[in-house]
Amino acid sequence: MADAVATAVAAELFEKIRTKSAVVGVVGLGYVGLPLINAFTTAGLRCLGFDVDWAKVQSLKEGISYIRHMESATIQGWLERDLFEPTADMSRLSEADAVLICVPTPLNDSRDPDLTYIQVTGRSIAATLRPGQLIVLESTTYPTTTRDVLIPILEQNSAGLRCGVDYFVAYSPEREDPGNPNFTAASIPKVVGGADAESLELACALYGHAIVQVVPVSSAEVAEACKILENTYRCVNIALVNELKVLFDRMGIDIWEVVNAAKTKPFGFQAFYPGPGLGGHCIPIDPFYLSWLARRHGMSARFIELAGEVNTRMPRYVIDRLAEFLNDVGKPIRGSRIAILGMAYKKDVDDPRESPSFELADLLLKRGAELSYSDPHIPVVSASGHHSLPEMVSQQLTAEYLRGQDCVLIATDHTAFDYELIAKYSRLVVDTRNATKGVLEGREKIRRA
């Protein structure tokens, strides 16, 4: 064992990790937690899965997945090999030698970080914390959260146990890309930062069993900042192409053709594409973490805030363009039958979190549209976050359904959609994703926004 790990408690835990006898607890059985469990069980480690949603726990006990890209057969394999047990009983956290926190970190109504789920989870862990446990935060958050929020909760509620001596804490940002078959939790390099040298050593050893490459950094703060940088990078570049889309639309230039031409340059350029707004659990949120953090340090993150403003404006821009297109055929939005295709935040996933489609739906309803939607991965939608939508059921995408709409708005470019069918039978198609680029019949009815 490395010289950095000096205590007997750490040495005992390290030996459990080395021999794969350590039990891994994962708190939050969602889009991050389940793929992580898959990586560890594939490596032969036993996992306990914790979630306060009893319906999720019961589904997993029965070997049934509720996430599209995690097959039920995979979960059944964990159960059959006795490598996985889901539970809603947080008192069992003491049974895990390593506890990985994969809970949501949303924004509150004032768009400041809401760490409620981390704090509640921290108190649950502290209530059963014992010597020889490793706690790793994976939830996306701002730099200093691990040291200034999580560790104080553990220290205040754990009967005098000391971080770095009795138990160990690290941060390792999740890097899931749902819907992308080219990457799994096990195949994406894992950045790890420890609260101290012992914690870093232990966390790296743990992830080393399950992840293709572990990237140690000097502190938990560096690992936290790494995650924020990754997602803000995407946010800023998407804002750039979104703003160029608005400009090029006025000039009659196709932004998608421009980006595809630019990406032929073999250096100095990475392609990002415009859309109706940002969605998902990270990219729409992380820049606001940085803006909030900058204000706390007496700064203004103007570049980042501008990118956030540009992306936030895109749904309204899309609806304004849709109104123009309808006006061209003598129809207002009010009273028109409009279908949104795709309520998920990205292509081929069943995750609606922060999806711009909800903002699009909200704006259309406020303007008096008769709204419906179709999404093969999202069977039902209702109120979400700041959007008080009525409950709606996904409609089957048929010729009859399309003929009955005054306008079809492509918000998410799912592979399952038949774009030839959409163009052929729709009266008007507004495409925000360039999904109809290869369509021949019905092209005269397609407008891009």
What pLDDT digit, counting tens, does each position of 49-76 carry? 999 999 999 999 999 999 888 899 999 9
Three-state secondary structure along 166-187? CEEEEECCCCCCCCCCCCCCCC
Q: 407 — phi, psi (to 5°)?
A: -155, 140
Angle made by CA atoms 389, 234, 146, in degrees to the nearest 5: 85
Predicted confidence at residue 319, as pLDDT, reads 98
* 407 token code pair: 């306008």
Predicted confidence at residue 380, as pLDDT, reads 93
SS3 372: strand
Largest CA distance in the chain: 78
Predicted confidence at residue 384, as pLDDT, reads 62
The length of the chain in residues reads: 449
CA 53 → CA 60, 86, 113, distances in Å? 11, 11, 23
Predicted confidence at residue 78, as pLDDT, reads 97
Predicted confidence at residue 283, as pLDDT, reads 62
Of residues 160 and 222, more confidence is placed in 222
CA 322 → CA 256, 362, 383, 449, distances in Å? 19, 14, 23, 7
Give the C-alpha separation, 115 to 144, whole Å. 12
Name the residue with tokens 């006898």: 21
Taking only the tens place, the pLDDT of each residue in 395-420 is 999 999 999 999 999 999 999 999 99
Taking only the tens place, the pLDDT of each residue in 285-319 is 777 777 788 888 888 788 888 888 899 899 999 99
Predicted confidence at residue 4, as pLDDT, reads 45
Helices (H) and strands (E) in the chain, counts: 15, 15
Taking only the tens place, the pLDDT of each residue in 108-139 is 766 778 899 999 999 999 999 999 999 999 99
Q: Do 182 and 115 meet the contact criterion of CB atoms below 8 Å apart? A: no
CA 445 → CA 216, 286, 406, distances in Å? 53, 38, 11
Catalytic residue among 204, 226, 235, 282: 282
Q: 364 — phi, psi (to 5°)?
A: -65, -40
Please give the model's pTM, rounded to 2 decimal places: 0.89
Taking only the tens place, the pLDDT of each residue in 189-209 is 999 999 999 999 999 999 999
Residue 3 has pLDDT above 70, yes or no: no
Mean pLDDT, the chain, rounded, equals 92
Predicted confidence at residue 113, as pLDDT, reads 82
Nearest to 424 by CA among 438, 404, 396, 403: 403
Exposed, middle or buried by CB within 10 Å (0-12, 13-18, 19+), for 163?
A: buried
| 282 in active site | yes
Structural Rg of the chain based on CA atoms = 24
Residue 91 has pLDDT above 80, yes or no: yes
Q: Please, what are the domains in the chain?
A: 8-218 (3.40.50.720), 242-448 (3.40.50.720)
Work out the percent of the chain whose per-residue pLDDT is above 90. 76
Taking only the tens place, the pLDDT of each residue in 206-234 is 999 999 999 999 999 999 999 989 988 99
Q: Do 99 and 133 meet the contact criterion of CB atoms below 8 Å apart? A: yes
